[in-house]
Amino acid sequence: MKKLIFYILLIFFTLHANAQVKENLKIPKNPKIGLSLSGGGAKGFAHVGVLKVLDSLGVKVDYISGTSMGAIVGGLYASGYTGKDIEKIILDTDFYNLISNKNNRAESSFFNKSVDKYLLKVPIKNGKATLPTSISSGQKNLYLLKELFKNVSNINDFSKLPIPFMCVATNLETGKIKIFENGDLSESILASSAFPSLMDPVKIGDSIYVDGAMTVNYPSEFLKKKGIDIVIGVDLNQGLNKRDKINSIVDILNQIIDFGIVEETKNQIKFTDVNIKPNLEGLGVTSFDDKAKILKSGFTEAMKYVEVFDKLPKKGYEYLRIPINPIYSNIYKIDALELENNKIYSKYYVQGKMNLLIPSVQTYGKINKMVDKLYATNNYKIINYDIIQRDNKNILKLNVSEDDTRFFLKFGLHYDEIFKSGLLANITIKRLFFNNSSISIDGVFGDKPRYYVNYFIDNGYIPGIGIYASGMSFDLKNQDKFAYQSWNWYRTEAFIQSIWKDKFAIGGGISYDIFNGTDLITGFKKSERFLNPYVFLKGDTQDSKMFPKRGYYTNIEAKAYNFFEKTTEEKSFQIKADIRGNFPITKFLTYRLRSFYGISINNSSDFYKYYLGGIFDQNVVNFVRFNGFEFGEASNNNILTVGNDFQFNFMKNYYVIANLSIGNLFDNFDDSKFLRINYSSLGLTAGYESPFGRIKINYSHSLKQKPGIFSVILGHWF
């Protein structure tokens, strides 16, 4: 039945074939067949439809040349994937995520997670502000290519692939064409597809390369030079746009680039015997949402040429698809780590950030995740890797391009009910005193000025050393929103921290707190100072700081207050635990459990009591978020709260969150008091994840008879 349908379609499309076959085309005996695949971004998905038709007819392809997306599709086909295999890869890949190259927050270091709050980041080089070279470094593209080409990663001569292959790139310094026929296959294809402004140029050897479309977008001529008799080409160029289609700076840039592409394509058609030109009207290089439509367009157009294709040589049974690399199987042992081009960061630092044990058994997927952790340190422009065999050992070799930028200016905005409006100005300096160190200095200017200083020496496996300082002021209000107390809080601390399995941070240190409080009713002022040793356990694998859908957050701390004070007869201690878990129920619905436990022993200071209330979600002394109550409205020496959030995500960046919170504040550990629920509330939040940070509009109401509270949060936390 399937064969019958196929032949009916064959006859139909043959009758409707257009004149894209070279005039007076003669097919010699035992001809060599070449496939020329042009670039075109998302339009390149049409290549796959053509491959599916060739596969269905069993056409034997002897050589493939490709540019940009044509290099990606052509490289996959040359490496043993079928047209259907490549179609599945395309349908399963989030190309917007690849282009954005957004760091996976769950893989970021603890330091970076604590300072990921900025709207604008400006690198400073040689005393001058610099602009980014593109949207993406290409790192995620490289991960994908490494995974896809793992079974042929031992082949450096592209003519030795199941189908001989070459791809075209452009030397950015000379403007000359570069044809890659050997080397690192993934890296070569990455260079061929490095479209200016979308992806950084790719450094190979002593040269840097961009998209091959800048020189030759339709590489048919090179196949003829290889002795190919019949060149089948897929031309994605749609010609130049009319003035009514040129409406933005991007449209103008694309039009200028297309000037050269259109003219060179005309030249390459001379070397193309069968020129397949899918109907891609209305589709562009970033039309990734139209995958199915583009795939179909290639198939539909290719079906018009089945009469010609059917006359071409067919593949024999010896033809190998997806060859298995004997060195790089799905699971293998890593015996050693080597670095290439590293000048700043040592092998021990790299191994520690990757959490790589040697020897250990790994997969390409696991290595991608480990490299992602290293890349998430923001110390590298791009990281390429390979596994080489030497002396009967498998060696993981990293070719790193380190980011030598040391100075950054960053800016952010924020508004909340406690600190009101604020503008954040930040300076970040890398490698201050030590190569693996970073300092972040925040100054917040607005209604409530404040500062934060973070300095950390990250030693990988070896425990790191950090210094933290902050200063802020805020008011406490009663349920009538009347400010009754004002606080000034200054903290300085030094700590040592060790990373365990790159999931937990464990350590300890000493903090020095200065509190100045003023009773706004009586005018009475109080000042206290504390020198406190402490230990902690932290964990943060949340996928988002603003609206997490999965992962957990843990902050457990035990602290002794004024432990070194000899005049104090009874020592004061506190243990507190902030534990949150995010559990996806469906693709759009997440359940979030938020719990906070706090215990005090011999506490005599109001400054260290646990304060309940507000939707303010920062680590400020012992203030605990709780819907339906004003910030710090209720307090006592011990606390237990549980929050239940049901978060619904729709239209990508919009959220609705329903909350039920219960809690208890109590002075002493008495069973009856401990188990009692003294506080409870319901809340509803509308949220939007914007480029400026979170936008939250919240209404919450205590289940006891008291007025509801309306709150607004805008921008990033700081």
Q: When comparing pLDDT for 196 and 257, which is higher?
A: 196
Residue 599 has pLDDT above 90, yes or no: yes
Q: Kindly state the average pLDDT of the residues 394-409.
A: 90
Closest CA to 675 of 705, 709, 638: 638
pLDDT of residue 388: 84
pLDDT of residue 15: 39
- pLDDT class of 718 with cuts at 50, 70, 90: low
pLDDT of residue 618: 74
Residue 55 has pLDDT above 50, yes or no: yes
- Dist CA 278 CA 52 (whole Å): 14
Q: How far is CA 648 from the centre of its chain?
A: 22
Percent of the chain's residues with pLDDT above 70: 87
Residue 258 has pLDDT above 90, yes or no: no
pLDDT tens per residue across span 525-563: 999 999 999 999 999 889 888 899 999 999 999 999 988
Query: Minimum mean pLDDT among 21-25, 52-56, 709-713: which range?
Result: 21-25
Percent of the chain's residues with pLDDT above 90: 47
Residue 502 has pLDDT above 60, yes or no: yes
The two tokens of residue 598 are 């706090």
Closest CA to 582 of 557, 552, 561: 552
- Dist CA 625 CA 615 (whole Å): 5
Query: Minimum mean pLDDT among 117-131, 219-233, 358-372: which range?
Result: 117-131
Closest CA to 704 of 672, 659, 642, 662: 662
Q: What is the identity of the amino acid at 522?
A: T
pLDDT of residue 626: 93
Residue 54 and residue 64 in contact, taking contact as beta carbons nearer than 8 Å: no
Q: Kindly state the average pLDDT of the residues 409-419.
A: 86
- Dist CA 439 CA 429 (whole Å): 5
- Dist CA 434 CA 430 (whole Å): 9
pLDDT of residue 7: 45
- pLDDT class of 487 with cuts at 50, 70, 90: very high
Query: Minimum mean pLDDT among 232-241, 489-498, 525-534, 590-599: which range?
Result: 232-241
Angle at which helix 139-148 crosses helix 364-375, to 10 degrees, equals: 170
pLDDT of residue 420: 86
Residue 284 and residue 42 in contact, taking contact as beta carbons nearer than 8 Å: yes
- pLDDT class of 17 with cuts at 50, 70, 90: very low
pLDDT tens per residue across span 114-164: 656 666 778 888 778 777 777 788 888 888 898 899 888 889 999 999 999
pLDDT of residue 588: 94
The two tokens of residue 110 are 């603890």
End-to-end CA distance of the chain: 66
Q: Kindly state the average pLDDT of the residues 575-588.
A: 96
pLDDT of residue 8: 44
Integer CA distances (angstroms), 413 to 383, 442, 692, in order: 33, 12, 7
pLDDT of residue 127: 78
What is the Rg, in whole angstroms, of the alpha carbon atoms belonging to the chain? 31
pLDDT of residue 164: 96
pLDDT of residue 36: 95
CA torsion, points 454, 457, 459, 463, in degrees to nearest 10? -70
The two tokens of residue 248 are 């933005």
The two tokens of residue 347 are 């092998």
Question: Tokens 């070194």 belong to which residue?
Answer: 564
Give phi and psi for 77, each to the nearest 5: -65, -40
pLDDT tens per residue across span 435-476: 889 999 999 998 889 999 999 998 766 888 999 999 999 998
Closest CA to 647 of 580, 702, 588, 693: 588
pLDDT tens per residue across span 182-202: 999 999 999 999 988 788 899
Q: When comparing pLDDT for 635 and 566, which is higher?
A: 635
Query: Minimum mean pLDDT among 76-80, 155-159, 164-168, 480-484: which range?
Result: 480-484
- pLDDT class of 693 with cuts at 50, 70, 90: confident
Beta bridge partners of 402: 380
- Dist CA 413 CA 623 (whole Å): 22
Residue 577 has pLDDT above 90, yes or no: yes
Please enumerate, as own/partner, the contacts of 713-716 that have beta carbons within 8 Å and a separation of 24 or more: 713/415, 713/416, 713/417, 713/615, 714/413, 714/414, 714/415, 714/416, 715/119, 715/412, 715/413, 715/414, 715/415, 716/117, 716/118, 716/119, 716/412, 716/413, 716/414, 716/424, 716/692
Query: Minimum mean pLDDT among 167-181, 331-345, 555-569: which range?
Result: 555-569
Residue 324 has pLDDT above 50, yes or no: no
Residue 220 and residue 265 in contact, taking contact as beta carbons nearer than 8 Å: no
pLDDT of residue 525: 93
Question: Tokens 């980014």 belong to which residue?
Answer: 132
Q: Kindly state the average pLDDT of the residues 268-295.
A: 88
Q: Kindly state the average pLDDT of the residues 646-657.
A: 94
Average pLDDT of the chain to the nearest whole number: 86
- Dist CA 48 CA 236 (whole Å): 12
Taking the model in full, what pTM does it have?
0.77
pLDDT of residue 2: 47
Q: When comparing pLDDT for 42 and 11, which is higher?
A: 42
Q: When comparing pLDDT for 683 and 478, which is higher?
A: 683
Angle at which helix 69-78 crosses helix 185-192, to 10 degrees, equals: 150
| Residue 57, helix vs strand vs coil | helix
Give phi and psi for 10, each to the nearest 5: -60, -50
- pLDDT class of 94 with cuts at 50, 70, 90: confident
Which residues, 6+ apart, have CB-to-CB distance to 459 below 8 Å?
349, 352, 436, 465
| DSSP symbols for 174-225 | T--EEEE-BS-HHHHHHHHT--TEEE--EEETTEEEEEGGGT-SS--HHHHH
C-alpha atoms less than 13 angstroms from C-alpha of 502 in its C-beta half-sphere: 23
- pLDDT class of 570 with cuts at 50, 70, 90: confident
Q: What is the identity of the amino acid at 205?
A: G
